[in-house]
Amino acid sequence: MDERRAYAPRVKALAASAAALAALLTCITASTGEAKRAPLTLRVMTRNLYLGANLDAIVQAKSSSEAFSAVEKGWAQVQANNFPLRARAIAREIGATRPDFVGFQELSLYRTQTPADFTVTPATTVALDYARELRKALAVRKLRYRFIGIRPETDAELPSGSPPTMDIRLTVRDGLLVRIDKKIKIRRVRTGSYSTTTPLFGGFVIAKRGWVLADATVAGRTFRVITTHLESFNDASQVAQGQELAEGPAQTKLPTVLLGDLNSRADGTGTPTHANLLAAGFQDAWPEAHPNDVGLTCCHGDDLRELGGPFYSRIDYVLLRNGFRAVAAGIVGQQPGDRISGLWPSDHAGLWARLRLP
């Protein structure tokens, strides 16, 4: 028998098997590639928590005694605006929307000292810690979140009362909260302050602003989330901080989500900070999801017990760059039904968004 004829069927069979194996490997490779690039859905929220009082009367005081009286009134308003109770409403919002990340502004820390010594010795007795109250409120609802970064910014201490009876120390902070019952891998957390600051009260107090960022991975997709709160007392400072933001923490090729109160109106009637960030390549999630709705987020009155009038501006944002797109967005803390025991959750509304990374 011709050996070539005997081996021919085997050769054909081996060739067919090799072709089938190659096709299978091609399918597996394609499937693996598709899995790595599977679309990612991410939920986020930005929430200004409100200091609990308006600081304008303190900042604009013409004398020390006037300022110290304003501090006393402000502290009384902080207590009346009752953040431990409001934290329960914020936790309720988080439970209803289940964001993967929450960017907080005005995550305040109040410390006191008696008797007053006008900052000779910094006050250390914690009277109210917003982060601690939020942790407690989230735990009551069995919502699994943790703060991965908190950035202290303005830290000011002034006597309260005329004559002063105690010192009140306020530390204003930004914070980034992450959901921990999902497979979110936090690769890096950084915090920082802008070099641009604003002197207040004759330079005795320096208003500082900053940011918190996290690089995270979900289902093989790595991205950056940033939260920030830009200046409200000085327009030039705010614009400069926006530039620092674009050239600093937001300077990355990673898909990026920016959560924050920019204090820059979306309609362009105030500072150009919002427009500058759009020019730097960011997209605004709200009009992307709601092109025919202005989406106002600010503000209720200083006294959160009052019903107040209609909102008048949009200064709270979810901004996106390098791939993320908004597929849905909503506002919380704006309707009377959002109140808790007659209190608004904050002077601002909260903004949430559901995002997609193709």
CB 168 within 8 A of CB 75: yes
> Considering only CA atoms, which of 176, 130, 187, 188 is closest in space to residue 150?
176
Mean per-residue pLDDT for 333-343?
Answer: 97
Task: Give me the pLDDT at residue 202, please.
Answer: 79
CB 352 within 8 A of CB 99: yes
Task: Give me the pLDDT at residue 294, please.
Answer: 97
Query: Could you give the CA distance from residue 40 to residue 219 in angstroms, rounded to a whole number?
Result: 7
Residues 6+ apart with CB under 8 A from 292: none
Task: Give me the pLDDT at residue 48, please.
Answer: 99
Task: Give me the pLDDT at residue 308, please.
Answer: 84
- Band the pLDDT of 28: cuts 50, 70, 90: very low
Q: Is the pLDDT of residue 114 over 90?
A: yes
Higher pLDDT, 201 or 137: 137
In our burial notation (b when 16+ CB lie closer than 10 A, e otherwise), range 262-278 reads bbbbbeeebbebbebbe
Query: Could you give the CA distance from residue 331 to residue 349 in angstroms, rounded to a whole number?
Result: 6
Q: Is the pLDDT of residue 29 over 70?
A: no
Side-chain-facing half-sphere of 323: CA atoms under 13 Å: 17
**Of the listed ranges 51-65, 253-267, 289-303, the one predicted with least confidence:** 51-65
- Band the pLDDT of 325: cuts 50, 70, 90: very high
- Band the pLDDT of 119: cuts 50, 70, 90: confident
The secondary structure of residue 128, as a DSSP letter, is: E
Mean per-residue pLDDT for 62-73?
Answer: 94
- Band the pLDDT of 17: cuts 50, 70, 90: low
CATH of 40-49+86-159+167-357, one of 2.60.120.1440, 3.40.640.10, 3.60.10.10, 3.40.50.740: 3.60.10.10
Which of 29-38, 198-207, 241-250, 301-310 has the highest mean predicted lDDT (pLDDT)?
A: 241-250
> Considering only CA atoms, which of 291, 243, 245 is closest in space to residue 266?
291
Beta carbons within 10 angstroms of residue 201's beta carbon: 17
**Model confidence pLDDT, tens digit, residues 133-183:** 999 999 999 999 999 999 999 999 999 999 999 999 999 999 999 999 999
The residue ranges of DSSP E strands in 194-324, in sequence order, are 198-200, 205-207, 210-218, 221-229, 256-261, 283-284, 316-321
- The domain segmentation of the chain, as residue ranges, is 1-37, 40-49+86-159+167-357
Query: Could you give the CA distance from residue 99 to residue 43 in angstroms, rounded to a whole number?
Result: 5
Task: Give me the pLDDT at residue 4, please.
Answer: 43
Higher pLDDT, 136 or 24: 136
Task: Give me the pLDDT at residue 204, please.
Answer: 84
- Band the pLDDT of 36: cuts 50, 70, 90: low
- Sole residue written with tokens 């409001």: 86
Tell me the backbone φ, ψ of residue 81, rounded to 5 degrees: -80, -5
Which of 2-11, 57-66, 286-295 has the highest mean predicted lDDT (pLDDT)?
A: 286-295
Structure tokens at 209: 């602003």
Q: Is the pLDDT of residue 73 over 60?
A: yes
**Of the listed ranges 7-21, 61-75, 212-226, the one predicted with least confidence:** 7-21
Query: Percent of the chain beyond pLDDT 70?
Result: 90
Query: Could you give the CA distance from residue 311 to residue 1 in angstroms, rounded to a whole number?
Result: 95
Q: Rounded to whole angstroms, what are the CA distances from 316 to 77, 175, 201, 306?
A: 24, 15, 27, 22
First to last CA, the chain: 62
Mean per-residue pLDDT for 306-312?
Answer: 91
Query: Could you give the CA distance from residue 12 to residue 308 in angstroms, rounded to a whole number?
Result: 84
Task: Give me the pLDDT at residue 27, please.
Answer: 44
Task: Give me the pLDDT at residue 201, please.
Answer: 80
The secondary structure of residue 203, as a DSSP letter, is: G
